[in-house]
Structure 1
Amino acid sequence: MKTESNIKPKPILDLGNGKYHINYNVVEVEREEIGVFFEYDTVLIEGLPTYERVVESLIREKYSISNELAIQRQRDTKGSEFAEYCEYADSCKELARECMESWEK
């Protein structure tokens, strides 16, 4: 989900009630009529954020479980689609590591 704020978001934001926002792809934008603000993507995590939950939530932002299974079943016939999925999953893992490291500091 795309989000905007006039305050730079934390990578992991506690919303209360066991829910958290994972904020990523943060870009500082300056517009003459508004000033400086931040555009970023957000995914919702239910339960305490763990590396595994963050990775799964990020992957689900683009691929449903059924899409993911279909891509894996057809990896021999749709190699480029499978490679794209693997690249995206790897980027989600890296992003999750960065989020968890910054949250634990």
Structure 2
Amino acid sequence: MVKDFMQDPQDMRRQGDGDRAASAPAYEQAKGDPEWEAEFENMFGKAANPFRMYVRQYLADRSIGYTTIGDGRNTMGDSRYAAADAFETTDAEGGAEVRRAMPEA
């Protein structure tokens, strides 16, 4: 069992900012590479066009996946901010909402 519980709300907010910042590369990857897609036929020739439908499906699924990752990181950042606010509120109210508090605590 933990003897001392020390949580710094400002540290949680910093971590939340880090999570939100980490979502930007995922959103950037979700955009794909339009130049590469435009040059597909020039790179691989007309014979590769039947394969192109599989590439398009892969790129669409990839975009959805990276967007989901970015959304998850943003949600994690929001959760860290909400937890920091909850810690501060509980502390301000004298810990009245802390469950199973012992009389000597």
TM-score, normalised on structure 2?
Answer: 0.40
Is the strand fraction higher in 1 or 2?
1
| TM score, norm. by length of structure 1 | 0.40
Larger Rg: 2
